[in-house]
Structure 1
Amino acid sequence: MAVTVGSGHSEESDLISSKQASIKRVYNNNVVLAIEADSTEVVLLGKGIGFQRRPGETVDITLADQRFVAEGLYRAPQLAGLLSDAPSDHIALAQTITELGHAALGLEPRQSLMIPVLDHLTFAVHRAREGTLIDFPLRWEVAQLYPAEAALGRQVLILVNERLGVRLQDDEWVAFALHFVNQQWTKGDFSKTVAMTETISRVFLRLAQRWGRPIDENASSATRFVTHLRYVFARAASDKQLKTSRLDVLSAVQQAYPEAAEAAVDIAELIGTAINRVITTDEISYLALHTTRLYAELDESH
């Protein structure tokens, strides 16, 4: 399976007209920065594609194994620099990791996952060979909140060590797991993934403080709650919050379980502060349904 990169064209005529690009810079024999007819800067990766080529010459895009365009934090020159500096076995392994994400988690095998993984992989290997250690403060949170991504992160850690003959830090799986989470929920902004993870962890601490009892995060209701919180973050971060319901769920919860309703409002404020958004009443209502279930289960267990 090849990683899908660039925006692509659906019409055959567009494909034909976009086969040629003008070389802007040759980074090495395998990486060139080029400009297509519509002025789009692209990075072309392919064996020998830059061999004895010069700026201003025309290159056939179909000769490239992969075509990359600017996306997220990565501008075209940064992409070209990353791909030209990365060893070929790192690039191949980053693609394999991307394919694992597709197989295990259903992630689309796209540039938006491959490039950050490659960037992190190259830096992690460099740190390992230099003997530089860093802290992974979200280790517990990632393991508890994202078990599927955590399991895949550990699998990737073993794969990297075996393929590249290195010994990454034991906790390096945390970073790989967060890349998988990032791809699913925040579409490229890694800082939002970190904020989401930290905030969800604070949610459980806040609930335990409010209700005077810890929440069993392994319970099925807690797992569903975490999944819902992730959806809330994704919707709020992309300005697609729920706001069309005619049911006054929050009022009903306030009457039956005021402690759960107050907790939902508190959680909404935590989330809103983390991503600089105001959480809608509809979102708070659905949060209240989950906090009600959690609160009721606490009552039943004591």
Structure 2
Amino acid sequence: MEIKKVFNNNVVLTQNEAGQEMVVMGRGLAFQKKAGETIESSKIEKTFVLDNHGVSDKIGELLREVPEEYLTIADRIISMAKKSLGSGMDDYVYVALMDHISFAVTRHKQGMVLRNALIWEIKKYYKEEFQIGLKALDIIEEEAGIRMEEDEAASIALHLVNSRVSGEGLDSAVQIVKVVNDTLNIVKYHYKMEIDETSINYERFLTHLRFFAIRLVRREKTDSVPGDDFMFTQVQSRYPDAFACSEKVASYVEKTFNWPISTDEKVYLTVHIHRVTSRQELNRQG
């Protein structure tokens, strides 16, 4: 097996007989070796087969800053995710998870715990990915000796969601952008205001809209749960202006994409619209 590129003493880039790029790992595998030389197969401990040729270079760049143990952690999580969710994940998820987990572990060791403001949405809309995220915490604990919070499981779930979306093709990506942009414009016109794009509420709203658009593109249906009708009545009476705006969004989506929005979707959409506009409304009135 010929070396195409040396990343460090323990990790190299090569390819298999089918011409697929492989990142190969083993202790001292590439010590005093260079491109064009042969790898000793007895030293190979782990192999990562990649479909995307550009990803190997990104992994190589990251390995200059991040210990290769995080590639092992990422691979264990991704392998588990593929068994549960099926194929269709972008190879870039290796880079994203390596980088994210390395940074998260460093933060945790420094006593910095970041809360995930979207954890309730992730738990509700991406149950499978969140369960994988919880199991990923076990893997991190085994490999790094650190037990992280559920917020981290939600963050890992987000990377899995993004990876699956990025593998769905350009048409889906374009449609997602259109839904997000058009919904933002509906909100702006309804309230006759420009939304503060520097606010945390805007970031939350934008993330919610991306998830919303992903579900639309995939034609996913959300099951109603006990209490949803009560919540629907509550937000309808408590946030009438935001609810009226959400009805405009629902009408647009149904007419444009033939995708009816559930009661559950309207509840979350109304709450987010209220949050992203209410503070600006108060400032404008004051």
TM-score, with length taken from structure 2: 0.53
Matches of residues 267-286 of structure 1 in structure 2 within 5 Å? 267=250, 281-283=255-257, 285-286=258-259
- After superposition, residues 96-107 of structure 1 pair within 5 angstroms as 96-107=76-87
Match of 1:65 in 2: 47
Identity %: 22
Residue identity matched to 2:25: G
The alpha-carbon distance between structure 1 residues 170 and 54, as it changes in their structure 2 partners (threshold 3 A), is: same
Q: CA deviation at 1:233?
A: 4.0
Distance change (3 Å), C-alpha of 1:166 and 1:268: farther
* Structure 1 contact 182–188 (Cα < 8 Å) conserved: no
Q: Any idea what the Cα deviations from partners look like across 1:167-225, whole Å, max 9, x if unmatched? A: 32441111111122122223399xx8xx99xx7xx99xx9xxxxxxxxxxxxxxxxxxx
**8 Å CA contact retained: 2:90, 2:163:** no
Q: Which amino acid aligns with 1:230?
A: I
C-alpha distance in structure 2 between counterparts of 1:109 and 1:70, whole Å = 11
2:117 to 137, 157, 160: 137
Q: Report the CA distance shift for 1:180/1:286 in structure 2 as closer, same or farther (over 3 A).
A: same
- What's the counterpart of residue 139 of structure 2? 159
Distance (whole Å) between structure 1 residues aligned to residue 37 and residue 251 of structure 2: 54
Gaps of at least 5 residues in structure 1 are 1-18, 207-225, 236-259, 270-278, 296-302
CA RMSD of aligned residues (A): 4.7
Aligned partners of 2:103, 2:30: CA distance in 1, in Å?
25
**Is 1:81 matched up with 2:61?**
yes
Q: Does residue 230 of the first structure (1) align with residue 214 of the second (2)?
A: yes
Kindly tell me: are residues 70 and 84 of structure 1, through their superposed partners in 2, closer, same or farther at Cα, counting changes over 3 Å?
farther
**Residues 33 and 114 of structure 1, relative CA distance in 2, 3 Å threshold:** closer
The answer as to whether partners of 1:127 and 1:133 remain within 8 angstroms in 2 is: yes
- Residue 268 to residue 87, structure 1, CA distance change in 2 (3 Å): farther
Of the structure 1 ranges 161-170 and 124-133, higher mean CA displacement relative to structure 2 is found in 161-170
Give yes or no for contact 1:43–1:68 (8 Å, CA) kept in 2. yes
The 1:119/1:231 distance shift into structure 2, 3 A limit, reads same
Q: Which amino acid aligns with 1:140?
A: W
d(CA) in 2 for partners of 1:103 and 1:151? 13
How many correspondences in the alignment? 205
1:177-192 matches, within 5 Å, as: 177-187=157-167
State whether residues 116 and 179 of structure 1, in contact with CA within 8 Å, keep that contact through their aligned partners in structure 2. yes
Which consecutive unaligned segments of at least 5 residues does structure 2 have? Answer: 188-209, 220-242, 268-286
